[in-house]
Chain A
């Protein structure tokens, strides 16, 4: 460490007096920076204030302020004739959410979010389990990067890749044809709700893309939970005569549940709020995110868009509360 010039007078003061006169506490550092340093060092509260003020002001004003503005707008309404926003308090905008068409949108989105969450938990479990229990050294690193890369790589590119895959003339149709399974694909597409003209305009397609895009968010927390399960538990279970599925049902699954709950918070919340995936791959029936987007954009009904946006916040609040009540966070 290079001694600062401000410490020189301190040294002189120290050597000047007799041992009896020497103060127990070093004299302050000289100069503006020195005084500032002493202030920071002596009073932790002052340092804390300095550290916290910029980020808290930024997030508090820009983020919380905006959320508050959103909440405020949802209590306004729109004049049906002029299309102008009326700036006085009303609950009628929230009332509109309960119209059958809007209620449909909410139910559809929640169903989609639930099925995506369930499927991603099923797909994620083996990957997470293998990475946590069996992968060592290089394989561990490979699995880690193998999950991190898709997690972080471009969201739009991932969606785009699936547009290529699901297109009528795309690789999936070709693959089914090569395997002589075209009848299976056609049969699936002719099913009432989940089918459609091609996979890229059906709920099945939307579901697949959601599953693909959010899967890594499920793997990481499950893996973290499974890393903490001692191998001896599983050995004890099988020594005591449990079949593998019994070990899974009574040991592994309960211990992985906090991880699954944490992952499901991501998959559920992200599906609830997404408006791009159902717009690019899917039927023309709306999801909550799309409803927000069209209401504030083409329809110009910002109060209704704001009210729609409050729905995922409430659902997520309820979801988090349930997860907490079930003790899902205790192990995290």
Chain B
């Protein structure tokens, strides 16, 4: 029998695997084409002609800018909260064994494991019962809650690879807790936090299901897009916005991949 390294995949498997990958990527590439179409009223294919004018039109749309601004602000604040909470939780879970440890890791994962609509309606009914009016902060509350798990996953994977004796050495050598954190722990986990933060940003920037329940009358970019999807009346602008959203979310994902590619990836996502 040939050794494992030399075995080659059967052609049928190669075709099926390539087909699967194409199925996942071609639809997104189609968005790129549609951003340049001259057709305004329908989703006609083949494209009747190509133009750059919709980029200019979109650029001059205040509602798009407003939605984009809100989305970015929400994503930044939620990411910061998630980074702090996720790191603290990962530090506690990975450093020690204690009663309720499993419960706490379940608690962190729950907001993303249950369907988004449940998180959404749960938050809305809580806001209703407590008479909290919808605001920027109600959106942030929801987003930060389900972003924690992303940072947590990345940080836990990194803490596992970081030796606890480094911290002991630092404390033994006379550094106080803050110095140890600043000079020993932080340099070790910084790239994992950055990667987790980027993913959290992408997650928050793109979120729509929970947001529809917590935003009230405010419009984040995904909500703006959702309205366009339900009742399309400015298809070319929507095409351009979709293209921009793809770019804004793809960059953090690639960045996170490069920051964690030596070993973390299996621990972070392999379950």
Contact = CB atoms under 8 A, between A and B. Distances in A.
Contact of B88 (A51, A316, A332): A51
A293 B21 contact: no
Interface in B185-241: 199, 202-203, 206, 208-209, 212-213, 222, 225-226, 229-230, 238
A63 interface: yes
Contact of A69 (B9, B129, B144, B177): B129
Contacts of B31: 157, 160-161, 164
B200 to A, nearest CB: 11
B115 A269 contact: yes
B114 interface: yes
Nearest to B269: A220
Contact of B245 (A55, A157, A269): A157
A84 B263 CA distance: 56
Contact of A58 (B25, B129, B145, B254): B145
B156 interface: no
Contact of B125 (A73, A273, A275): A73
Given A55-B108, A296-B124, A2 B7 contact: no
A130 B13 contact: yes
A235 interface: yes
B57 interface: no
Instruction: Classify the interface of chain A: helix, strand, loop or mixed.
Output: helix
Nearest to B183: A1
A48 B128 contact: no
Given A161-B28, A276-B226, A51 B116 contact: no
Nearest to B232: A163
A216 interface: yes
Contacts of A220: 269-271
Contact of B117 (A2, A216, A262, A289): A289
B206 A156 contact: yes
A33 B17 contact: no
Interface of B: 1, 4, 7-10, 13-14, 16-17, 19-21, 23-25, 27-28, 30-31, 34, 42-46, 81, 84-86, 88-89, 91-92, 95-96, 98, 104, 107-108, 110-111, 113-119, 121-126, 128-129, 141, 144-145, 148, 170-171, 173-180, 183-184, 199, 202-203, 206, 208-209, 212-213, 222, 225-226, 229-230, 238, 242, 245-246, 249-250, 253-254, 257, 261, 265-266, 269-271
Given A59-B148, A127-B21, A309-B117, A231 B34 contact: no
A238 B4 CA distance: 13
Contacts of A133: 9
Contacts of A212: 23-24, 27
A242 interface: no
A96 interface: no
Interface stretch (A15-23, A100-108, A138-146, A179-187): A138-146
Contact of B89 (A51, A154, A262): A51
- Size bin of chain A's contact surface: 35 or more
B86 A55 contact: yes
B30 A274 contact: no
Interface in A205-251: 212, 215-216, 219-221, 223-224, 227, 231-232, 235, 238-239, 244
Interface of A: 1-4, 6-7, 10, 29, 33-34, 36-37, 40-41, 44, 48, 51-52, 54-56, 58-60, 62-67, 69-70, 72-73, 123-124, 126-127, 129-131, 133-134, 141, 143-150, 152-165, 167, 169-171, 174, 212, 215-216, 219-221, 223-224, 227, 231-232, 235, 238-239, 244, 262, 265, 269-270, 272-276, 279-280, 289, 292-293, 296, 302, 305-306, 309, 312-313, 316, 332
Contacts of A44: 96
Contact of A157 (B98, B123, B242): B242
A56 B104 contact: yes
Nearest to B81: A58
B89 A150 contact: no
